[in-house]
Amino acid sequence: MSPHVLSAVAAVALGAVAGVVLFVPIVAGLYHRQGGLSLGRLLLWGAALVYFWAIWTYTLLPLPAPDTVRCAGTNTHLGQFAGDLARAWAESGGGLRAFAANPLVLQLALNVLLFVPLGFFVRVLGGRGLLTAGALGLAISALVETTQLTGVWGLYDCAYRVFDVDDMLTNTSGALVGSLLALAVPRRLWGSNDAAPEVPRPVTRPRRLLGMFSDWLASTLILTALTVGLRLGAELLARADRGALALAHWPEAIALATTAGIWLATTLATGATPGDLTVRLAYRRPRMATPPARLLRFLCGSGGYLLILLAGQALPLPGAAAVFALVCIVLVLAPTGPGGLPALATGAALCDQRSPDRGPEAPAGPPQPHS
């Protein structure tokens, strides 16, 4: 596999992992900053995550074997590239094609192009202009160059790639160019709803399912992190001859109970699960007192799913959690509306959190194809 292909594959793989981990925060940010979610906006964020890792994979990979490292030089003279370009022009004999094909010219052009997407994403996704794009471009470039100069922060005895202050200049220039190019893209194509982030959006089945998926993904990530951490702790306890502790025997049960506790506390405090909060949905006007309604909201959604998994640690319940999840999904798709099982159990109306407390449906806002 060539170095460039390796860098591309690594960037996509790392971007995919980051996309899974950051999916819920990104969706929550889009709902709170833009008022809703669009497929285009979500794809832009995915591209930005892959690009972020591409900066590092293309500048650091492939990592050489320690015994094959040859210490690279440094260029601390800002603007040295100008003289190099003059020599390249002289060597080309005034021919534009020969000049453009010069390796030095190509390297400078690639350094600029590498940071063009950064400036574009800063403006389109972050809503920031030239100053922020330039500052961020300079900061990231300086971090990359310092990482190279220090041999990946001491991983190698010396730098295996050249430290070049001119790279920081060209990278920053690329970020500025990207910010300017973003101005040519019509704002309607950005998938942004910045003009009215607090306008209530229609409560749709896809939006409700997105909230349910956010609950499942967030709880799964937390559960996985806790389980791995507890298993590592159990291993350390076993080595220290303290294996009798519950931590060493029940890591999955402890992780499940902790995750369920987080969801229970959130639901009892706010009346909404983390997934509901992510897509700004709320159950209102239940046909019962608030505390039992919130408890039922927990039990009729991700909380019930987690408790079934927890019970499965001690009881034979094969497939029970999957069946419960399937029932919840079917009820969301049923003619009774997107409120699903929680609405049936409590009699509450599913609303947009931004809508007045007066009915089950929020007033129709700007079109939201994937809200």
More confident residue, 361 or 52: 52
Q: Is residue 181 part of a domain?
A: yes
pLDDT band for position 191 (cuts 50, 70, 90): low
Decide if pLDDT at 248 tops 90: no
Q: Is residue 371 part of a domain?
A: no
Decide if pLDDT at 219 tops 80: yes
What is the domain extent for residue 226? 205-352
Q: Nearest Cα to 340, choosing from 296, 288, 295, 277?
A: 296
Decide if pLDDT at 187 tops 90: no
Q: In this structure, are 37 and 174 located in the same domain?
A: yes
Q: In this structure, are 271 and 298 located in the same domain?
A: yes
The values of phi and psi at residue 159, to 5°, are -70, 130
Q: In this structure, are 108 and 9 located in the same domain?
A: yes
Q: In this structure, are 36 and 101 located in the same domain?
A: yes
54: number of Cβ within 10 Å: 20
6: number of Cβ within 10 Å: 14
Least confident residue range of 100-114, 129-143, 197-211: 100-114
Q: Highest mean pLDDT: which of 139-153, 234-248, 291-305?
A: 291-305
Q: Is residue 110 part of a domain?
A: yes
Q: Is residue 51 part of a domain?
A: yes
pLDDT, mean over the chain: 86
Number of domains the chain is built from: 2
pLDDT digits (tens, 9 = 90+) for 169-183: 999 999 999 999 999
Q: In this structure, are 16 and 154 located in the same domain?
A: yes
Decide if pLDDT at 234 tops 70: yes
Q: Is residue 360 part of a domain?
A: no
* Residues 112, 104: Cα–Cα separation, whole Å: 13
Task: Mark which of 123, 155, 190 sits at the end of a domain.
Answer: 190
Task: Mark which of 134, 161, 190 sits at the end of a domain.
Answer: 190
Q: In this structure, are 120 and 211 located in the same domain?
A: no
Report the pLDDT value the prediction gives residue 287, as an integer from 0 to 100. Answer: 94
Q: In this structure, are 102 and 210 located in the same domain?
A: no
Q: In this structure, are 32 and 149 located in the same domain?
A: yes
More confident residue, 70 or 332: 332
The residue behind tokens 């959690």 is 321
Q: In this structure, are 103 and 229 located in the same domain?
A: no
Q: Is residue 197 part of a domain?
A: no
Q: Is residue 361 part of a domain?
A: no
With contact defined as beta carbons under 8 Å apart, do 167 and 58 qualify?
A: no
Q: In this structure, are 184 and 222 located in the same domain?
A: no
Q: In this structure, are 130 and 174 located in the same domain?
A: yes
150: number of Cβ within 10 Å: 14
pLDDT digits (tens, 9 = 90+) for 292-321: 999 999 999 999 999 999 999 888 888 999
Mean pLDDT of 62-69: 82
Q: Is residue 21 part of a domain?
A: yes
How far separated are the first and last CA of the chain, in Å rounded? 41
pTM across the whole model:
0.81
pLDDT digits (tens, 9 = 90+) for 333-361: 999 889 999 999 999 999 999 888 644 43
Task: Mark which of 128, 162, 190 sits at the end of a domain.
Answer: 190
Q: In this structure, are 143 and 285 located in the same domain?
A: no
Decide if pLDDT at 370 tops 50: no
- To the nearest whole percent, how much of the chain has pLDDT over 90? 54
pLDDT digits (tens, 9 = 90+) for 2-50: 777 888 899 999 999 999 999 999 999 999 888 888 888 889 999 999 9
